[in-house]
Amino acid sequence: MYDIKALYEAYSVEEAINLRLLHPDAQILAGGSDVLVQIREGKRAGKELISIYTIDEIRGISLDETESIRIGSLTSFSHITKNEIVQKYINVLGEAVDMVGSPQIRNIGTIGGNTCNGVTSADSASTLFSLDALVELTGKSGKRVIPISDFYIKAGTVDIKPDEIQTAIIIPKEKYSGYQGHYIKYAMRNALDITTTGCSVNVKLSEDKKTFLDVRIAYGVAGPIPMRAKNAESFIVGKAVNDENCKEFSKEVLNDINPRDSWRASKALRQHIAVELAYRAIKECVKLSGGEM
C-alpha cells in the first residue's frame, strides 16, 4: 500500500534533530494525514520517514509567563478547537481548524504539519497570518523564532533548516488581547473539500466601539502562499465603524491579492469571493466586539 524506504521514530526533539542530520532526505511525519496520502499517490514514493508523533513535549496549549499563547506543533486540530485557552482568547483559530477535512482528519492532523506543508489552502495558515503568529524552530544550535510571514517562502516551501523541526506556534499577548476574529472558508462542498478561498479577519475597536483601532486580514488561495491584505488594513484603521467603510475595505483587498485561475475556480471568481468574504468577516468581527453598524 505504501512505498516507504525506511521509518525512523523519534522520542524527543533532540533525537528528531539527530535523525534529520543522519537522514537529510527523510520526510518528517507528524499526523501523516498529508504525507501518507502523498506517498500512496506516488508523489513521495520510496522516501525515508522520521516520525515525531510520539514527542509529547511539543504537544498541547499553554500560556507562558508573558501570557503569549503557545501551541505545540503536534497539537491536533480537534484539541485546538476544544481547548479552553483557544476558546477564550483566539476562538477564530478554533473556527478555522474545525473546517479541516473530517473528524478523523482533525483528530490526527496537527497544526505543525498543516503549516510545514507550505500550501496556501491550509485552513490554519490564513488565521495564523491574521494573528501575527510566530513560528518556533528547534535545531542543533538551539531555538529560533520567526514571524509566520517569513516562514512561508514560496508555494510548498517553508523556512526550515536541515537540522530543525518546528516545535511551536506562538501568539503574543499584544496580538490577541482586545481583538475579535472571524474566519470564513469558501469551498464547493460544505465538508471534505479544499478551500477555494479562505479569509480571516481580526479587529480591535476603540473603547466606545465607534472606531477601528486595528484590523488584520489574511487570505488563503489568494496568492502562492497565505497573505495579508496590507492596503485594505491601512485603509480601514482609524476610520469610523460603519457599513460604508466596511464595504470600501472589502473592495480594497483587490489591490493586495493575486489569485490564480485553476480548475477549481477562476481568478475572477476568487476575486469576487475575496471581496464578499472580507465584508462578511469584518462585520462579524464588529458584532463580536460589541459594535454596531
Residue with cell 470600501: 248
Domains observed in the chain: 4-51 (3.30.43.10), 56-174 (3.30.465.10), 178-288 (3.30.390.50)
Instruction: Please state the pTM of the whole predicted model.
Output: 0.94
Cβ of 178: how many Cβ atoms within 10 Å? 14
Q: Which residues of 73-94 are buried (b: 16+ CB within 10 A; e: fewer)?
A: bbbbbbbbbebeebeebbbbbb
pLDDT tens digits along 35-53: 777 787 777 778 899 999 9
pLDDT tens digits along 131-165: 999 999 999 999 999 999 999 999 989 999 999 99
Q: Helix and strand tally (H, E) in the chain?
A: 13, 14
Question: What's the mean per-residue pLDDT of the chain?
Answer: 93
The helix (H) or strand (E) run that includes residue 230 is helix 230-236
Contact yes or no for 85/170 (Cβ under 8 A): no
| Identity at 160, one-letter amino acid code | I
pLDDT the model gives residue 186: 87
The helix (H) or strand (E) run that includes residue 169 is strand 165-171
Grid cell, residue 254, equals 483587490
Angle value at C-alpha 77, between 98 and 92, nearest 5 degrees: 50
pLDDT the model gives residue 188: 75
Contact yes or no for 143/134 (Cβ under 8 A): no
**Does the pLDDT value for residue 58 go beyond 70?**
yes
CA distance 113 to 28: 9
pLDDT the model gives residue 123: 85
pLDDT tens digits along 89-139: 999 999 999 988 777 888 889 999 999 988 888 889 999 999 999 999 999
Percent share of the chain, pLDDT over 90: 77
